[in-house]
Amino acid sequence: MQQNRTAYSTLIKSEAKKLGFMFCGISKAGFLEEEAPRLEAWLKKGMHGEMQYMENHFDKRLDPRLLVDGAKSVISLALNYYTDEQQTDPLSPKISKYAFGADYHLVIKEKLKQLLQVINQEIGEVGGRAFVDSAPVLDKAWAKKAGLGWIGKNTNLINKKAGSFFFLAELIVDIELEYEIAPNADHCGTCTSCIDACPTEAIVGPYIVDGSRCISYLTIELKNEMPQEFKGKMDNWMFGCDVCQDVCPWNKFSVLHNEPAFTPHSDLLHLNKQDWEDITEEVFQKVFKNSAVKRTKFSGLKRNVSFLRD
């Protein structure tokens, strides 16, 4: 039986690599004891802002066996999105690197579907579900358990060999596999670069982010008007923010992604400050046709650009 688990796990990791995933690790499905009190305290302090959905399915967030019948294993995967391409106008409102190309939800979901197909073909009928930010799964906690890295002071998962510019996803399956022995040690040490650099002081302490102050939250998740207290503190970000990753010393090990779907739209990087201020819905639909930026909608993007300008 152990022999099968080892063979199955080796197969899954090999197929994940073929599909372009940077890392793949496997952990035993169960209750996340360490995360429970942290999540509860974070929610009680209102650090999720208007993200009311974070309060839902508390038990399911902490136990994947409540999400997938008979769940035995959590396969954690990481897909690199790091790029050295930049917007050409240094004065134009900034977009996070992860949104330069196609919407990662769509790209990763397709890869997970293919991986599950291979598992079913090679191993037999395996029950499972794919998750990419789409359900109450604590991606970083599972990735840490699977040995993909440690959770840094900016609460991003960091890998010693590749930094943190990658997406996380999971396949939760109903078969026993071979599990990673121990999660990676924390290598943040005494460094506080991310805490010191955050423009809105959202990293309120090591390993604690007040989501309601985070620029990514303010520019994407927040549906109402931007709070005036953040006027002049947005560091010119209009969609997402990379500051805490850009300053992280471990990201000097980031390598360029090789995912064609993440190639930026030909117009995106060349829009200047004035282009963004004058952007029409037609241009928005064209440039962001299959992009994660569509999450903020045209009205949201206009709000963000206007907030930076006014």
Query: Where are the strands (E) in 31-185, listed by range?
Result: 73-80, 94-95, 128-131, 150-151, 157-158, 166-173
Q: How far apart are CA 171 and CA 13, in angstroms?
A: 12
Give me the catalytic one of 63, 89, 133, 174: 133
Please choose, from the candidates 144, 132, 130, 133, the residue with its C-alpha nearest in 3D space to the C-alpha of residue 38: 144
Q: Are 14 and 118 in contact (CB under 8 A)?
A: no
Q: Which residue's entry shows tokens 């930049």?
A: 86
Using DSSP's 3-state secondary structure scheme, residue 157 falls into strand
Please choose, from the candidates 291, 276, 281, 299, the residue with its C-alpha nearest in 3D space to the C-alpha of residue 224: 299
Q: How far apart are CA 209 and CA 213, in angstroms?
A: 8
Catalytic site includes residue 133: yes
Q: How far apart are CA 86 and CA 268, in angstroms?
A: 10
In sequence order, what DSSP letters do the residues of 49-61 get, joined into one string? TT-GGGGTTHHHH
94-95 vs 237-239, strand pairing mode: parallel
166-173 vs 73-80, strand pairing mode: antiparallel
Which sequence positions are flagged as catalytic?
Answer: 133
